[in-house]
Amino acid sequence: MVKRLLILAAALFLFQSLNAELDWNITGSGARAAGMGNAFIGVADDATAINWNPGGLTALEHFEMSVVGSSVFDIEEYKEEDNESYEYSEDLDYKHFNMNFLSMAYPLTVKEKKLVLAGAFQKQLDFYSENKRENYSYESEGGVYTANIGASYQILPYLSLGTTANIWMGSSEATQKEDYETYSAESKSKNKNFSGFNFVVGALFDMSTIKENVPLKLGLVVKTPFDLDYDYEYEYYESFGGTTETYESSSTVEMPLMFGLGASYRFGENFTFSVDFERRNYAKSKFIADYGDGEKYESDMSASKDDVNQFRIGMEYLIVTDAVVVPVRCGVFNYPTLWADTDYEWDSINSQYVEVDSEQLVGYGISVGSGLIFEKFAIDLSYNYLSYENVYNYDDLDGYEWSQTWTNSRSNLSFSAIVYLDSFMNK
């Protein structure tokens, strides 16, 4: 029984850490897209299209190389209070840097139609997290990456189709500590050997090639479901009994079907408006762990049993001069999560709190961006800000109520650099 409880604790630590750390709104990359609120499925006209919408790769005119990096700043506030007089709050903040996208793309002509080949390396899931309070600390680092091989072909003057093969890999480590005068405990976990494979399939329909006065582009992208497998190691130590336990599991994240629709419309030569909708079918997806004891431990990815639906709106205006083009960008978006605001009531028969109601937690964000576009290279910068609040309410049914609140504000400063290699080779 004790061993079974410790395995259950290890499984809970695995599931909670995966849900708490990661942003499961898996999208493409790039400071330009970020500056437009990530409303990029119907734009997709640079190398980041390899994951945004590979059908858009045929818009590339140059043999080019690109790199994307970002600095992430998180500010969290924890608050606990009841309906009598107790109130406690604590703040924490942390920051880190990501180099999250590298790519190369090469355009060709095949049978008088454009074919673009591309390769990329992208950080898809970022495990970096810190939570340090009195008598408690939690730290995590690492990531899950994809190696991407993509191609797009312009099958008709107004229609391009593309696909990207994603090979998933990576690892992470996490440490959780509790330290009191009479008791201390430490848990360590490692997620190793991440592996998986899926496809991204995209299409881009350009109305401007049919009707000159209708500069509308429509995009569709589908990301196939797959199992993201990995090996999990968990070690637990507590000082009271001098107990040390180590467990290993073969684990899986059921990554669901994801699809998105996007549209962009160009007003004149310089102003573009774009809008996206993306659905990620997490409602039935599970975290699964097999510790070799004859039983598989499962947890729902979505605490509210809801899918993740995201809406994004973006704009770009180009200021054109003889020497340089200066873009001005902005965007707004919602930020759906796999977490839920939850109400609990005390179950006196089983002596525990039970969930009575939950609602998916959705945050909101804004973005701005700019850059410099030259003949041989381009530089883009963007700033994203989003916030959300997670609330747990507890009711003891005898008039006593209390709540826990986590408020998170996240800023992301991104930069992209694109070098048009053929402009140097032709000189």
Going by C-alpha positions, the residue among 66, 300, 29, 7 that lies closest to residue 143 is 29
Both tokens of 287, joined, read: 């975290």
Mean pLDDT of 123-127: 93
Task: Compute the average pLDDT of residues 404-415.
Answer: 94
Section 307-336 average pLDDT: 97
Residue 193: predicted pLDDT: 96
The DSSP output letter for 416 is E
pLDDT at 155 over 80: yes
Report which of 1, 29, 216, 14 is spatially closest to residue 120, judged by C-alpha positions.
29
pLDDT at 12 over 70: no
Mean pLDDT, residues 30-50 taken together: 95
Place of tokens 């998986």: 196
State the pLDDT at residue 1: 46
Residue 310 pLDDT more than 90? yes
The string of pLDDT tens digits covering residues 246-261 is 888 899 999 999 999 9
Please tell me the distance from the alpha carbon of residue 163 to that of residue 150, in angstroms, as a whole number. 6
Q: 2-425 is classed in which CATH architecture? A: Beta Barrel (2.40)
For residues 216 and 224, give the distance between their C-alpha atoms in angstroms, rounded to a whole number.
27
What does the pLDDT average to over 394-405?
89
Distance CA 346, CA 83 (A): 16
Query: Alpha-carbon distance 96 to 421, whole Å?
Result: 31
Closest of 39, 28, 43, 99 to residue 67, by C-alpha: 99
C-beta atoms surrounding 8 within 10 Å: 13
Please compute the mean of the pLDDT values over residues 2-10 and round it to a whole number. Answer: 53
pLDDT at 407: 93
pLDDT band at 137 (very low <50, low <70, confident <90, very high): confident
Domain ranges (residues) in the chain? 2-425
Confidence tier at 282 by pLDDT (50, 70, 90): very high
Write out the E strands in 135-183.
136-156, 159-179
Tokens of 41: 């499925």
Q: What is the mean pLDDT of the chain?
A: 90
SS3 231: strand
pLDDT band at 3 (very low <50, low <70, confident <90, very high): low
Tell me phi and psi for residue 135, to 5 degrees.
Answer: 70, 10
pLDDT in tens, 289-308: 888 877 888 899 999 999 99
Q: Specify the pLDDT at position 49.
A: 94
- pLDDT above 70 (res 10): no
Q: Give the Cβ contact number of residue 112 at 10 Å.
A: 6
Instruction: Read off the pLDDT of residues 61-92 as tens digits, 9 standing for 90 and up.
Output: 999 999 999 999 988 888 999 888 899 888 88
| Dist CA 297 CA 320 (whole Å) | 58
Q: Which residues lie below 8 Å from residue 83, measured CB to CB, with a gap of 6+?
A: 399, 400, 401, 402
Residue 43, number of CB atoms within 10 A of its CB: 28
Asked if pLDDT for residue 340 goes beyond 60, the answer is: yes
Listed residue (63, 313, 305, 48) closest to 200, CA to CA: 48
- Band (pLDDT 50/70/90 cuts) for residue 324 is very high
pLDDT higher than 50, residue 219: yes
Task: Enter the DSSP assignment of 48.
Answer: T
Residue 2 binned pLDDT confidence (cut-offs 50, 70, 90):
very low
pLDDT above 90 (res 352): no
On the CB side of 13, CA atoms within 13 Å amount to 27
Query: For 371, left (φ over 0), alpha (ψ -120 to 50), or beta?
Result: left
Closest CA to 370 of 379, 358, 360: 379
From residue 355, alpha-carbon distances to 8, 10, 249 in Å are 19, 22, 28
